[in-house]
């Protein structure tokens, strides 16, 4: 998934961005209020906003209020050192979906991110399945039939994107948007390399290339 992180503290920002990238997410990191607002206005397909409240330029609560005033329902996880009950209520009233008080444990942050993404996609059942393929985004595990699969974080994220829209054809640009954030160079054939590796693990016909359009799930019923 492509996530937006708005956090001015360099150490916290880097730790959070690294942890999220380790889960296979593409992370855009804005380090002050105005650049956070610009990133939101630019219309990238973000799945989640991780928002600090005390930000230079524009306060996080204001940014959140503006977002909701536009009718944008993007899930928002507020991360802040403001931990009075009044602050939490203000954050939730302004439209935050969840609230984490600093200092927090990175594993807890990742668990909450997974829960928010799951809730946002409207799936009560966290498992994704297609044919003989099953994916558990919470545990980051995948099976083909009874066989557990060893997938890299990017391969997992790419497969998850395809499984979430099993009837859609996703373009290379759409897949890159899901896999990479700003400042992450995307090699000209990176998506192709991941697809090649996934076919090696899942079978040559598991992912179909629709010429000139993109990629979609293929035959995952019959063993290769
Ligand atoms: Ca701050």
pLDDT tens for residues 138-156?
A: 778 899 998 999 998 889 9
The environment of the single-atom ion ligand 1, i.e. residues with CB closer than 5 A, is: 8, 52, 54
Dihedral-angle region of residue 220 (phi above 0 means left; psi in -120 to 50 means alpha; beta otherwise): alpha
Longest dimension (CA), the chain: 59
Q: Which of 43, 1, 37, 17 is nearest to 177 (CA)?
A: 1
- Centroid of ligand 1 to alpha carbon of 65 (angstroms): 17
What is the Cα gyration radius of the chain? 18
Name the least confident of 18-27, 33-42, 153-162, 184-193.
Answer: 184-193
State pTM to two decimals. Answer: 0.69
pLDDT at residue 85 above 80?
no
For residues 115-126, average pLDDT: 73
Structure tokens at 151: 């997938």
Q: Which helix (H) or strand (E) holds 144?
A: strand 141-144
Confidence check: pLDDT of 91 > 90? no
Which carries the bigger pLDDT value, residue 110 or residue 87? Answer: 110
CA of 131 to the centre of ligand 1 (A): 46
pLDDT given for residue 206 in this prediction: 93
């Amino acid at each position: 998934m492509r996530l937006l992180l708005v956090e001015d503290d360099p150490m916290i920002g880097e730790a959070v961005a690294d942890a999220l990238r380790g889960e296979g997410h593409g992370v855009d990191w804005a380090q002050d209020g105005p650049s956070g607002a610009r990133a939101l206005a630019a219309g990238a397909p973000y799945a989640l906003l991780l928002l600090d409240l005390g930000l230079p330029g524009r306060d996080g609560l204001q940014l959140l209020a503006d977002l909701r005033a536009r009718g944008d329902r993007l899930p928002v996880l507020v991360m802040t050192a403001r931990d009075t009950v009044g602050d939490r209520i203000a954050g939730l009233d302004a439209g935050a979906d969840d609230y984490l008080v600093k200092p927090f444990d990175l594993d807890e942050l990742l668990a909450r991110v997974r829960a928010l993404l799951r809730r946002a996609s409207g799936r009560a059942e966290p498992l994704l399945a297609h044919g003989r393929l099953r994916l558990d985004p919470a545990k980051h595990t995948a099976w083909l039939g009874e066989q557990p699969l060893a997938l890299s974080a990017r391969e997992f994220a790419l497969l998850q994107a395809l499984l979430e829209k099993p009837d859609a054809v996703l373009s290379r640009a759409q897949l890159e948007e899901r896999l990479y954030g700003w400042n992450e160079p995307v090699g000209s054939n990176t998506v192709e390399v991941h697809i090649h590796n996934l076919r090696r693990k899942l079978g040559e016909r598991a992912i179909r290339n629709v010429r000139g359009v993109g990629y979609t799930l293929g035959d995952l019923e019959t063993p290769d």
